[in-house]
């Protein structure tokens, strides 16, 4: 993975970072911890819950009024397209 990234001119990225980004996006889109565990291979629920707890905290900080903010939705959509 690292060699392929370097070959594509991408520096400072890793397979672990890509995996973590995917799990974070899953949690932000509402995936339960068990689904994250299945996808990621985490052995304990606590490991997977780290992603859902952070996503829940982010939702609380942003608040429900931000769900209708098209700028925030566009940012999330562009994140998903890049991943």
Residue 57 lies in a domain: yes
**Phi/psi at 9 (5° precision):** 80, 20
Residue 75, token pair as written in the block: 């940012």
Residue 41 lies in a domain: yes
How high is the pLDDT of residue 5? 73
Q: How many domains does the chain have?
A: 1
Total residue count of the chain as it appears in this document: 83
Residue 66 is given by DSSP the state: G
- Alpha helix (H) residue ranges in the chain: 2-7, 15-28, 33-40, 45-62, 70-82
Containing domain of residue 57, as a range?
A: 20-82
How high is the pLDDT of residue 38? 93
Please list the rounded mean pLDDT of every run of 10 residues in the chain (83 residues): 76 80 91 93 93 89 64 60 60
Residue 66 lies in a domain: yes
Residue 40 lies in a domain: yes
Q: Is the pTM of this model over 0.85?
A: no
Residue 15 lies in a domain: no
How high is the pLDDT of residue 13? 73
How high is the pLDDT of residue 44? 93
Tally of CA atoms within 13 A in the half-sphere of 28 that contains its CB: 17
How high is the pLDDT of residue 14? 75
């Amino acid at each position: 993975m690292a060699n392929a990234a370097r070959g594509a001119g991408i520096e400072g990225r890793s397979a672990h970072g890509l995996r973590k980004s995917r799990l974070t996006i899953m949690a932000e889109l509402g995936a339960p911890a068990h689904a994250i565990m299945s996808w990621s291979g985490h052995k304990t629920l606590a490991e997977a819950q780290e992603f859902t707890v952070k996503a829940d905290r982010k939702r609380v900080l942003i608040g429900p009024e931000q769900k209708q903010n098209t700028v925030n939705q566009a940012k999330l959509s562009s994140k998903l397209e890049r991943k």
